[in-house]
């Protein structure tokens, strides 16, 4: 699933949570959770293909990582009484759901041996950027995500700009 789809669906889930909890920052945390597996794994792939780290050191698309995030969410609630970790975990679970990870049990349940040997083309980061943001759907979803964030944080941004003007 495309990064932009994960971002947009994470924002939508965050808005649903916002409707009940009324804390704006949870929308951003949920969106971050929904892109975290791709952000982490694709970054690791790029680093491993360039020889910085060995491939398969981490797999944020694994069931173990999902369980770890749920455990951290439970501990965060018990210790700090915060929704933040639960919302982050919900975003991660949404990512796993949209990637339909249960259809790839080898990837979902085997860690940290995946990817065992992944060979990426030299221009992999550029290809990812082109495929994610070069399509009309990707651009549309980025614009929609920006509109949602502007609607949520517009007043805060205006306030920050107003207070910054005082110093110039």
Give the interface segment with Zn ion, choosing from 31-39, 101-109, 121-129, 139-147 (CB under 5 A): 31-39
Listed in sequence order, the residues at least 6 apart from 137 whose beta carbon sits closer than 8 Å to its beta carbon are 2, 4, 5
Nearer to Zn ion (CB atom), residue 38 or residue 132: 38
* Nearer CB in complex with Zn ion: 33/37: 37
Query: CB under 8 Å, gap of 24 or more: what pairs does 39-47 form?
Result: 39/3, 42/128, 45/115, 45/118, 45/120, 45/124, 46/120, 46/124, 46/125
- Out of 3, 38, 91, 132, point to the residue binding Zn ion (CB under 5 A): 38
Interaction of residue 99 with Zn ion, rule CB under 5 A: yes
Who's near 86: CB < 8 A, 6+ residues apart?
73, 74, 76, 77
Between 18 and 108, name the residue whose CB sits nearer to Zn ion: 108
If the CB atoms of residues 37 and 76 are measured against Zn ion, the closer one turns out to be 37
CB of 101 to Zn ion, least distance (A): 8
Positions in the binding site for Zn ion (CB under 5 A): 37-38, 99
């Amino acid at each position: 699933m495309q990064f932009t789809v994960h971002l947009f669906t994470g924002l939508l889930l965050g808005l649903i949570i916002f409707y009940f909890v009324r804390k704006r920052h949870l929308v951003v945390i949920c969106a971050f959770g929904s892109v975290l597996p791709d952000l982490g794994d694709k970054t690791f792939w790029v680093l491993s293909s360039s020889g910085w780290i060995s491939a398969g050191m981490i797999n944020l698309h694994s069931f173990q990582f999902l369980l770890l995030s749920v455990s951290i969410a439970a501990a965060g609630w018990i210790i700090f009484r915060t929704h933040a970790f639960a919302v982050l975990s919900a975003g991660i679970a949404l990512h796993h759901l949209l990637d339909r990870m249960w259809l790839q049990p080898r990837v979902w349940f085997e860690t940290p041996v995946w990817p065992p040997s992944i060979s990426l083309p030299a221009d992999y980061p550029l290809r990812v950027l082109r495929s994610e943001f070069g399509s009309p759907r990707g651009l549309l979803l980025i614009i929609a995500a920006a509109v949602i964030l502007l609607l949520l944080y517009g007043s805060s941004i205006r306030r920050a700009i107003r207070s910054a003007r005082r110093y110039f």
